Amino acid sequence: MKIICASVTDSIYNQYYLNLLIRKQDFTTIENLIKSGKINLNLEELQSKIKSLSESKKQYRISKVPINSANAEIGITKYKNGFIICSSRENNTTIERTHNWTKQPFLKLYYTENNQNTWSTPTLFANEIKCKYNKGPISFCNKEKEMWITENYVSSDNRSTENKYKLKICNYKLVDGKWIKQKDFPFNDRNFNVAHAAITEDGKTLYFSSDRPGGFGGMDLYYCTKTKKGWSTPINLGAEVNTWGNEVFPTLMEDGTIYFSSDGLIGIGGLDLFYTKNTNGIFLAPINIGAPINSEEDDFHLIFNSKTNKGYFSSNRINKGFDDDLFQFDRYESETKEESTREASTLEKSNNDLKDTSINVRHLIIINNENLEKMNGIKIFDSQNNPIEIESDNNDIQIDSSIKKIKIVKDGYYSKEIIFNEFKNQDTVKLKTNIGIAQADWYKIIYYDLDKSAIRPDAAAERPGAAGGGALRRLQRHELHDGFHRCRRHPARR
């Protein structure tokens, strides 16, 4: 879904205003904006999307990880028999520097183990890594013998405060039981942030977040590949993934799924968790994981084990958005037909139920985007463009759950590629009539000031790339804050 403003020169600052309206589900104000011509969107489609994101709650059991402290904990990462976490907890074994704004120590790395939900007391990890300010989050590769970590630059020059402490990615290798620093990532730059590394196990592809020049907005996602000559020039994941907002905290799964957080894609909170995949060099439209993993606050840095159906993520949902904690979740299957078909019945305005959800079967209902009626005559192909034999009962298409990606084709409609949400076994897919103008199903957001049609002088500097870069200055203001440098906090929440 795309929200289009009267002018793309509008302030990025207002993007967060409409996101706030969505978070509060203030559809009356949004409707007034539509009627006044300030924005152009389908309100019913927006409401349906937000409702569907909020109605997946019974697929998960979520709880706080018991090792959370009174301070910030973020960025949990699997390591050996346990986990590495980033925490600003008090530690009596080291001299503590505290941040002037949060009055908390800076982030350090800790190791902990979870034995049948009995967590060990976190202990300092890799204390030989000297960093004046924050450490983490981190990503491992090469059988956990190599580590990529986000740190702050330390500058003693006359740079302005917002330019002194940019983020950079550092590389360490395990040598004789000690983490030894290697060359920094070559695309670090003191003039912008390069952060949140996610490295493939073979160490040949590195994803990261950056507000380097040439992006789509605030922090964008990029990747580099390692060649014989070194790291390739960063490649932006593109407009399908990156927005006028911030895309941050990428994490990788073994099958190539990329989880990340965004405050520019439509969601139910500040930062919502999404996932995408690289298919032949094209990153497909991100999928919002939905509630209850996503909340009205910031949710980020998710890891998930598809074999155990267990995962972890970070969120500041508890203390009115001002304290980051670690959460754990178990995914389980819907227990009733009603639960598994709620989204479909809402869209179809009927009480038709699907078959019982099976762990070995995914259910699809294909509907017309305009009248929301079920469609038949559908052809489905796999990722190699081979036709898939499907079973269908009352237009409920059943597909083997081992198939991760499909292409849906019907004469007279735009074809659609789907990467299945591994957190759901049922999906409703809408096809659009082919009228000769290609349109994507999930778009980015550009917002407009309420009741104003002209850009404010003070907002002109908020546009990405505009002189002054006010929005980016606000994003960077808290680079030294506990929750990794609140470059993920949007202006409306400061």
Taking the chain (494 residues) in runs of 10, the rounded mean pLDDT of each run is 41 61 85 78 84 75 92 92 89 57 73 90 86 83 95 66 77 94 94 95 96 90 94 92 92 92 88 90 87 92 92 90 88 53 36 37 80 83 77 72 78 75 64 53 34 36 32 35 39 33
Quote the CA–CA distance of 400 and 256 in Å, as a whole number: 20
Grouping H, G, I as helix, E, B as strand and the rest as coil, residue 78 is strand
Q: Which residues of 385-401 are buried (b: 16+ CB within 10 A; e: fewer)?
A: eeeeeeeeeebbbbbee
Quote the CA–CA distance of 16 and 493 in Å, as a whole number: 9
Q: Which of 391, 422, 420 is nearest to 406 (CA)?
A: 420
Q: Which two tokens stand for residue 464?
A: 């990405």
Predicted local confidence at residue 445, as pLDDT: 35
Quote the CA–CA distance of 230 and 455 in Å, as a whole number: 44
The C-alpha torsion from 350 through 352 and 356 to 360, rounded to 10°, is: -80
Given a contact cutoff of 8 angstroms between Cβ atoms, the answer to whether 197 and 150 are in contact is yes
Predicted local confidence at residue 157, as pLDDT: 55
In order, the DSSP letters of 146-192 are EEEEEEE----SS--HHHHS-EEEEEEEEETTEEEE-PPPTT-BTTB
Given a contact cutoff of 8 angstroms between Cβ atoms, the answer to whether 226 and 202 are in contact is no
Predicted local confidence at residue 315, as pLDDT: 95
Predicted local confidence at residue 34, as pLDDT: 80
Q: Which of 78, 136, 88, 137 is nearest to 112 (CA)?
A: 78
Predicted local confidence at residue 90, as pLDDT: 77
Predicted local confidence at residue 412, as pLDDT: 80
Grouping H, G, I as helix, E, B as strand and the rest as coil, residue 345 is helix
Predicted local confidence at residue 362, as pLDDT: 75
Predicted local confidence at residue 78, as pLDDT: 95
Predicted local confidence at residue 18, as pLDDT: 74
DSSP state of 90: -
For the chain, first and last CA: distance in Å? 27
Predicted local confidence at residue 448, as pLDDT: 32
